[in-house]
């Protein structure tokens, strides 16, 4: 079985909490770590900054698509960052991830 | 030689500091970045939140197991998150990692 | 096309902002997330700690080298951490990264 971290940007603490709780309570991810950050990006030709909260969600690879769909359907942004990468780790913790997700 | 980031959750600043200092002073990792976060997870059927501190430890792949053993033997949790992923990078920085770890 | 996160440590908010703005405005990365952290490392045989700011920069793999060169040429450290890892993700977001970078 393959395990991943899904990295999701949100507009702030309230949205981060809502999405994280939804993902966890539906069993799409095992747990979420929320990080307060400051983002830098181009907007209408100018460098812009904004406060955001990033979610690191630990789950199995087959859950990426359902997570993507849920986030896109509820997010305040038209196109939030939803990226992922493969992880390895302590076998017991990975087993906990596997048994924590519903699919 | 393969290089990794090891991602470890801890209960707070004191535990994070203790584990990070132990890993660095024993030469199991080259350096540790500590992140204050808020976690969301299920506990006894309910969505729960808690403050934690995450460690990003940079090291070589062969050090994952000794790091895992040390963290599991000293950690306050029964099953902390200890996951990892492969990294590439600036050759000079990777060489610094290689020469900073004792194995 | 391959996409990556580039992980860069900086000495603090001012340096983080300067480097992030330079990378974004030159089209070397699509966006940067800045994280306030505390680092633990060995210095002259002693365990040391310091405040830093980490940049997570999202871009395409071919931009790693130009990012590395720019960071090394402007950074206050002699040898900052500049590492990277592969990411996958929401196809629309990855396409946004692709069209946001100039090469």
CB B84 within 8 A of CB B29: no
Tell me the pLDDT tens digit for each residue of A24-41: 999 999 999 999 999 999
Inter-chain Cβ pairs, chain B and chain C, closer than 8 A: 65
Q: How much is the mean pLDDT over chain B?
A: 97
CA-to-CA dists, residue C74 to B76, C20, C70, C79, angstroms: 41, 12, 6, 11
Residue contact B24–C7, C-beta within 8 A: no
Instruction: Say whether pLDDT at B83 is over 90.
Output: yes
Instruction: Say whether pLDDT at B8 is over 90.
Output: yes
Instruction: Say whether pLDDT at B88 is over 90.
Output: yes
Section A86-100 average pLDDT: 97
Chain B interface mutation, best of A24, A60, A88, A90, highest count of B Cβ atoms under 10 Å: A90
With contacts defined as CB-CB under 8 Å, which chain B residues touch A92?
Answer: 79
pLDDT at position A44, please?
A: 86
Chain B interface mutation, best of C33, C38, C65, highest count of B Cβ atoms under 10 Å: C38
Residue contact C40–B32, C-beta within 8 A: yes
ipTM over 0.85? The verdict is yes
What's the pLDDT band for B1 if we cut at 50, 70, 90?
Answer: confident
Tell me the pLDDT tens digit for each residue of C61-89: 999 999 999 999 999 999 999 999 999 99
Of the candidates A21, A94, A96, the beta carbon closest to that of B40 is on A21
The percent of residues above 70 in pLDDT, for chain B, comes to 100
Q: How much is the mean pLDDT over chain A?
A: 97
C69 vs B44 pLDDT, higher one: C69
Domain range for C78 is 3-100
How many domains does chain A contain in total?
A: 1
Distance CA(A33)–CA(B51), nearest Å, equals 9
Q: Assign residue B90 a region: left if phi > 0, alpha if psi is -120 to 50, beta otherwise?
A: beta
What's the pLDDT band for B51 if we cut at 50, 70, 90?
Answer: very high
């Amino acid at each position: 079985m393959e395990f991943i971290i899904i990295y999701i940007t949100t507009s702030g603490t309230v949205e981060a909490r809502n999405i994280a709780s939804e993902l966890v309570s539906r069993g799409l991810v095992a747990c979420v770590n929320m990080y307060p950050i400051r983002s830098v990006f181009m907007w209408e030709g100018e460098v812009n900054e904004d406060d955001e909260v990033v979610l690191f969600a630990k789950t199995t690879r087959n859950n990426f698509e359902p997570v993507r769909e849920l986030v896109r359907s509820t997010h305040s942004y038209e196109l939030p960052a939803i990226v992922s990468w493969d992880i390895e780790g302590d076998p017991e913790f990975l087993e906990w991830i596997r048994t924590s997700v519903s699919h």
